Amino acid sequence: MENKAHAIAAGIFVLGVAALLIALAVWLTRETGLMRRYEIVTRSTITGLLPQAAVRYRGVKVGKVARIDLDPKTPGQVLVLMDIDPDTPMTRSTYATLGYQGLTGIAFVLLDDSGESREPLQALAGEPPRIPMRAGFMEQWSRQGERLLGELEETTRRVNQLLAPENQQALRRSIDALGEAAAAVPPAMREAGASFRSMREAAGTVSASAEQVRKTADHYARLAQRLQQPGGTLEQLQQGVGALAATGQTVQQSSLPRLNRTLEDTGRAVRQVGRAAASLDEHPQALIYGPALSLPGPGEPGFVVPRGAR
């Protein structure tokens, strides 16, 4: 009898503990008030998201995931039903992303608002209000990883093309050419140094020439200043030119007519001397016997008509 009593007591104790655990679970999972149902629509993968997962609005827990289904109307589209506290400010610009808790990989829904609209989100045609889902951090990293893998594959392909045998030969020739060019650099540097020294010497010569030109210019400036001073050479030259002009005017008015007559008389005398010289050249005996008598012309005494003209 005592064994049966102990067994009955142990069974009652176990049933009591089980009832307390069930009551505690119900109390922890109980609804604190009226919840409002919303629906997330996405075509992205929602790996790690399970029913009863937390729903947070900017980090504050506001509800939980009620159910996850495939959209029967649109193939490939996922519907996530959520029960959210009615005091949560849900607007038309509210959107959802997936967040992950630490290293466990358990996903939760993270709600945020872009602030583009303040109009409350309303249900349409008796269906729960729909909230769009944007790519989360992990999904963005996944897309970036795919893109990086594609670029890495393209880079590998190009490297393989670059390391082809013909390209290796071309690269080897280029390296040899670079070695020859590097060997030719020191002589070129020495020639460049000599050229720079010549340029410095030329610059020194040009500087000395410039100094001499400056001195010459200063000298000419002082000379021009002396020439332009009152009573200087320029003024005296102007006075001499004026006097010469007056003398020329006087000569033109008085002496020039007489000089013209003298020149005319001299010209006539020269012409007469020329005719005399021509006559002596034709009849040199005239210098001894005198000038030859000229025959009378028509109408003059002693004129005889030539025989051929009769």
Q: How far is CA 37 from the centre of its chain?
A: 58
The 10s digit of each residue's pLDDT in 148-198 is 778 888 888 877 777 777 777 777 788 878 877 777 777 767 777 777 677
Q: What residue segments make up the domains of the chain, in order of their start?
A: 32-134, 166-229
The 10s digit of each residue's pLDDT in 117-158 is 888 888 777 788 888 888 766 666 666 777 777 888 888 887
Average predicted confidence (pLDDT) for the chain: 75
Cα(first)–Cα(last) distance of the chain, in Å?
Answer: 215
- Measuring CA to CA, which residue among 143, 141, 139 is closest to residue 47? 139
Q: In the structure, what pLDDT confidence band is assigned to residue 273 with cuts at 50, 70 and 90?
A: low
Structure tokens at 307: 């025989």
Please state, in angstroms and as integers, the Cα–Cα distance from residue 275 to each residue in 270, 280, 281, 290, following that order.
9, 9, 10, 15
The C-alpha atoms of residue 237 and residue 267 are separated, in whole angstroms, by 38
Structure tokens at 32: 């604190």
Does residue 253 carry a pLDDT above 70? no
Report, in angstroms and rounded to the nearest whole number, the Rg of the chain calculated over CA atoms: 65
The C-alpha atoms of residue 84 and residue 281 are separated, in whole angstroms, by 152
Share of the chain above pLDDT 70, in %: 66
Most confident stretch, 87-101, 167-181, 190-204, 226-240? 87-101
Q: How far is CA 49 from the centre of its chain?
A: 52
Does residue 90 carry a pLDDT above 80? yes
The C-alpha atoms of residue 262 and residue 265 are separated, in whole angstroms, by 5
Instruction: Write down the residue that tokens 């093309």 correspond to.
Output: 161
The C-alpha atoms of residue 151 and residue 145 are separated, in whole angstroms, by 10
Does residue 277 carry a pLDDT above 80? no
The C-alpha atoms of residue 39 and residue 290 are separated, in whole angstroms, by 159
The C-alpha atoms of residue 36 and residue 85 are separated, in whole angstroms, by 6
Asked which of 18-27, 45-54, 221-230 is least confident by mean pLDDT, the reply is 221-230
Does residue 1 carry a pLDDT above 70? no
The C-alpha atoms of residue 172 and residue 115 are separated, in whole angstroms, by 61
